[in-house]
Structure 1
């Protein structure tokens, strides 16, 4: 049996049970509006059968009779000309940069003298961002860097691993990162505007419990995705050649309750993962900016009164707040476009808003690019911390630069001593 597919797979394909699939139109997919590349499918649904749910297979206009047959074909589920550049050529370098940057953040913030409630949240964000990229990267490398996107994925266990590592697991960690960012901004707001409450609420034990709760809730939000579909082997003919592939089907409990499951899942995503956090962070950032203005006026007055110690404390606090505001602003710059695209996608496919079919190809490309921009932002926090936190720079220098310099100087001294002898 041949399991290779044709890169431009547009011919009529006949499955062995007689079901016919035309071109790249394998039917709707309601469960894969994900952070990363998506390829899933579902049975027929009461929603728009052409587009709903599949991030990158948005041009389908063929209604497939039940039982719906869907064969994984990566080439037809993403704009390949864009994906090859972003995920095939740039991604390996981005992965290395993200790993190095976030591992350095973890090592610096894990130092005993750096353990503060704020730094614990920043450390958790670094871990979440890093794992968001680590899990799908092997598949990006295999599919796009090595060029195996032209082959059908097989056997079913590989198809399941692909769907979980490309979509579900990264979405779990990215959801955690989003909610950790809200925790970071909310905690800073309490520090600045309610310092008395901060002594009670913003302690290391309380913040640690909040972080654990966020990861548990993020996992719970994605838990059903581990079980809402299953995969089985399928034989089909393409251009007279018998091929092997994976067929994806809904789990029975999803098929029986899809009118409830899909609106609930996507509604939750829009409110609590996409639009809601962005709106909350915009409001918190505005409040932090207003609080900073008040703190600056207070510091100026203290400086004029020659109360230098209090003035210095306010200056250090303001520097930390500025840094966190930059972190939140960068987050909003990359997340808001994705939130808007997600909202349009869902509203269009539930027929709440009119959306011409010919425009879905642009939405498909927009989602792909915004996903990649989010990934590009993962190494940026290291540069922000180095540029805006004196304590971070000094700790980083002590851990790495000073040790490296001492080793180099020690090597030179050893060479000089040996030469003199």
Structure 2
């Protein structure tokens, strides 16, 4: 090829590149990027959450204060009940409940703060790793802790029923080691039943146009294994059916029955105590009074639990009927508002147990005062002998301490 031919070829290549550049300049590749409304299941925080006019004051403004109160109150409960002389089967369950309640609120609280307090409720979430974190911290992990709290409340009421109505059985089965194992198993099963929820959703990074600008976010899809083994509808119906039966309606029904039985047993015990008072049997009378106080306190704890759990259970049942079976009993908008308020009242109840313990338990009050107010708490050796007559052997139940 001659020099002239090379010059001609270079001019030709240059002309082609200029034409290609002009072509790409004329053609806007952003036309290939879909609009936000064209992407199904885009993780839009406004669409995924409750109506913002109700969510903002509750979750954005009231929630931070509620979180602080809950952490302080439940930390006090944990510290007091963890003391060696307070280590009884009932107190172990109450301690587990306090931890679960606190974590149910603490885990999603960064997202409440980011979305509502900081005003990011209109944001499309991304990248995909952030969406995974949001899904886990806002839905899956809090549900696991809440499930554990529900089941521990069931253990608490059942255990107290055996103490009052079947004391010989309680001595055998309601010991500290057995109750510790039960609490651990409850936590394990509660998280195991939520394990598929970590894996049933996939988030992928997407680009979309919104208000004329290109944005990045993530799209939520059902995991492939769900559609291969089941269908998405069958899988979620099975999950929510389990949740309704074993986490919501079932435990609430059993707790109502146990609470009624405990209240009847308490009335009989009060009549027995009145009889002992007439017979001047002061020692037995005092022991029965302490037992009655504990029973009454636990009845109040369970009653507060039921007062917030039953409305939540009914709301979840309606939610399942509307989504899974298209039974339009109420509008979805009203249901979302109801779900928001029932969840908020549930979280509002978390620090209440601390007030119940302080108001109804002399021993809890005294230990709290010694630890945090007077600073006169005895050392371990003194504490062990000081409370040994009250507690009895460490592996055997005794319920007069709280």
- Contact kept, 8 Å, 2:36 with 2:209, in 1: the verdict is no
Partner of 1:411: none
Partner of 2:84: 112
- Contact kept, 8 Å, 1:135 with 1:170, in 2: the verdict is yes
2:250 to 243, 251, 276: 276
Change in CA separation of 1:20 and 1:382 when aligned onto 2, cut-off 3 Å: closer
Partner of 2:234: 260
Give the stretch that moved more between structures: 181-190 or 70-79: 70-79
CA drift at 1:385: 0.2
Partner of 2:360: 388
2:37 to 7, 18, 21: 21
- Contact kept, 8 Å, 2:244 with 2:250, in 1: the verdict is yes
1:200 to 169, 172, 192: 172
Partner of 1:416: none
Partner of 1:226: 198
- TM-score by structure 2 length? 0.83
Deviation sequence 1:7-48 (CA, Å, 0-9, x none): xxxxxxx995658836xxx7xxxxxxxxxxxxxxxxxxxxxx
- Contact kept, 8 Å, 1:299 with 1:315, in 2: the verdict is yes
Aligned residue pairs total 345
Supply the distance in 1 between the matched residues of 2:327 and 2:130 (Cα, whole angstroms).
37
Matched, 1:247 2:263: no
Partner of 2:42: 71
Question: 3-state SS of the aligned residue for 1:149?
Answer: coil
Matched, 1:295 2:311: no
Question: 3-state SS of the aligned residue for 1:236?
Answer: strand
Partner of 2:27: none
Partner of 1:144: 116
Matched, 1:124 2:140: no
Supply the distance in 2 between the matched residues of 1:118 and 1:185 (Cα, whole angstroms).
10
Deviation sequence 1:258-309 (CA, Å, 0-9, x none): 2431221011000001100100100000000010011111111111111111
Question: 3-state SS of the aligned residue for 2:369?
Answer: helix
- Contact kept, 8 Å, 2:34 with 2:208, in 1: the verdict is no
Change in CA separation of 1:15 and 1:145 when aligned onto 2, cut-off 3 Å: farther
Give the stretch that moved more between structures: 262-271 or 71-80: 71-80
CA drift at 1:354: 4.1
Runs of 4+ in 1 over 4 A off after TM superposition: 14-20
Deviation sequence 1:94-153 (CA, Å, 0-9, x none): 111000000000110011110000000000000000111111001111111111222221
Supply the distance in 2 between the matched residues of 1:211 and 1:252 (Cα, whole angstroms).
35
Deviation sequence 1:366-408 (CA, Å, 0-9, x none): 0011011100001000000000000000000111110299xxx
Partner of 2:67: 95
Give the stretch that moved more between structures: 305-314 or 143-152: 143-152
Change in CA separation of 1:209 and 1:115 when aligned onto 2, cut-off 3 Å: same
Supply the distance in 2 between the matched residues of 1:273 and 1:15 (Cα, whole angstroms).
49
Change in CA separation of 1:19 and 1:400 when aligned onto 2, cut-off 3 Å: closer
Supply the distance in 2 between the matched residues of 1:346 and 1:19 (Cα, whole angstroms).
31
Partner of 2:4: none
1:320 to 291, 294, 305: 294
Supply the distance in 2 between the matched residues of 1:370 and 1:223 (Cα, whole angstroms).
25
Higher fraction of helix: 2
Which has the larger Rg? 2
- Contact kept, 8 Å, 1:341 with 1:367, in 2: the verdict is yes
Partner of 2:189: 217
Question: 3-state SS of the aligned residue for 1:301?
Answer: helix
Partner of 1:155: 127
Supply the distance in 1 between the matched residues of 2:237 and 2:341 (Cα, whole angstroms).
25
1:161-200 counterparts in 2 under 5 A? 161-200=133-172
Partner of 2:8: none
RMSD of the alignment, in Å? 1.8
Partner of 2:311: 337
Supply the distance in 1 between the matched residues of 2:256 and 2:56 (Cα, whole angstroms).
34
